[in-house]
Structure 1
């Protein structure tokens, strides 16, 4: 059956990549629809047709960011020991938040840690996204405890929270201009929480 209507004149993933960039640089609240359409190189009707409103565009951008820019997270969780999980995650994170072809820091941190009351759904969405990531690490660390890789006295949820807090702090420091080498040293220090 033939597709109806005019053919889409842009690639969705390319447009989302440009949306990621603008949201990352300006945050959710700081990004206007005009900023979005200009960055994505599409018209407002095309944005609405493809993505919905600004909030839905942001959510889709964050989801793509998690799959593309944070693919190292799944690789880290697949490592054989808790220490290797943390090493892979922290070292990859330092590289990701200091790439020269992307804004410094992290989209989910800079995108909207806080917002005005009318944007509470975006703040909640980001908080839920971060919590879901934490839960994956907690599950992995619990498995490490169950398998004897971590001491039985270890708290998997606290360890996952610690890792999340370290990476959030690294992202804030990267956004403030801290060089990769400084962040890498901080990440190595954080690894002391994980038995070798």
Structure 2
């Protein structure tokens, strides 16, 4: 009787949920920043070995970029939603309100991954820092384009400066994130957001 050989499986299936592991990695980066998050911290939180991490996500920088994408689509998704509001003032209000809520979410790290994730880094963290600079600039550009649209529609006065308004909003939101990371309460930060809107140009 001829010997039958069993085919070896092609590649071993992953024994962990990559989506859940990435969620845990995002929270580590969010709470500790790029350089503060060691590989031991990351793999422990993700519940996997370094070998599994490299195989599934690449190196630490690759993992950070994937975590930032997840953060953008999750906790920071208020930015994209705010752009859909019907008026420029409502866009601004939704953006700042979203910033307050996202940076003070119960059960999550305080502050903003996109703001504090790599503000101060040495040479190993330069790429992560540059990625976050680009991330923040992209949000400012999206707001600027939305406010240009508002000027064209007559929702903002003709002399309004869309670039300055966008930079103003992101600066206030970034400050809210820093204050939240320092322990400022949500209600106090909401008052800051409300005050910022008092100087919003009339239609």
Q: Please report the TM-score for the alignment, with normalisation by the length of structure 1.
A: 0.96
d(CA) in 1 for partners of 2:10, 2:147: 50
Cα contact 1:82–1:194 (8 A) shared by 2: no
d(CA) in 2 for partners of 1:75, 1:132: 15
Residue 5 in 1 paired to residue 4 in 2? Answer: no
CA RMSD of aligned residues (A): 1.2
Residue 119 in 1 paired to residue 128 in 2? Answer: no
Q: CA deviation at 1:148?
A: 0.7
Q: CA deviation at 1:195?
A: 3.6
Q: Which has the larger radius of gyration?
A: 2
Q: State the match for 1:35 in structure 2.
A: 41
Q: CA deviation at 1:25?
A: 1.3
How do 1:13-32 and structure 2 match up within 5 A? Answer: 13-32=19-38
Q: State the match for 2:148 in structure 1.
A: 142
d(CA) in 2 for partners of 1:115, 1:47: 23
Q: Please report the TM-score for the alignment, with normalisation by the length of structure 2.
A: 0.92
Q: State the match for 1:168 in structure 2.
A: 174
Structure 1 runs of 4+ with >4 Å offset = none
Helix, strand or coil at the partner of 1:9? coil
d(CA) in 2 for partners of 1:83, 1:187: 12
Cα contact 2:110–2:181 (8 A) shared by 1: yes
> Which consecutive residues of structure 1, in runs of 5 or more, have no partner in the other structure?
none
The count of aligned residue pairs is 194
Q: CA deviation at 1:193?
A: 3.0
> Which consecutive residues of structure 2, in runs of 5 or more, have no partner in the other structure?
1-8
d(CA) in 2 for partners of 1:23, 1:47: 15
d(CA) in 1 for partners of 2:12, 2:124: 34
Q: CA deviation at 1:117?
A: 2.0
Q: Which of 143, 153, 157 in structure 2 is aligned with 1:151?
A: 157
d(CA) in 2 for partners of 1:50, 1:97: 29
Helix, strand or coil at the partner of 2:25? helix
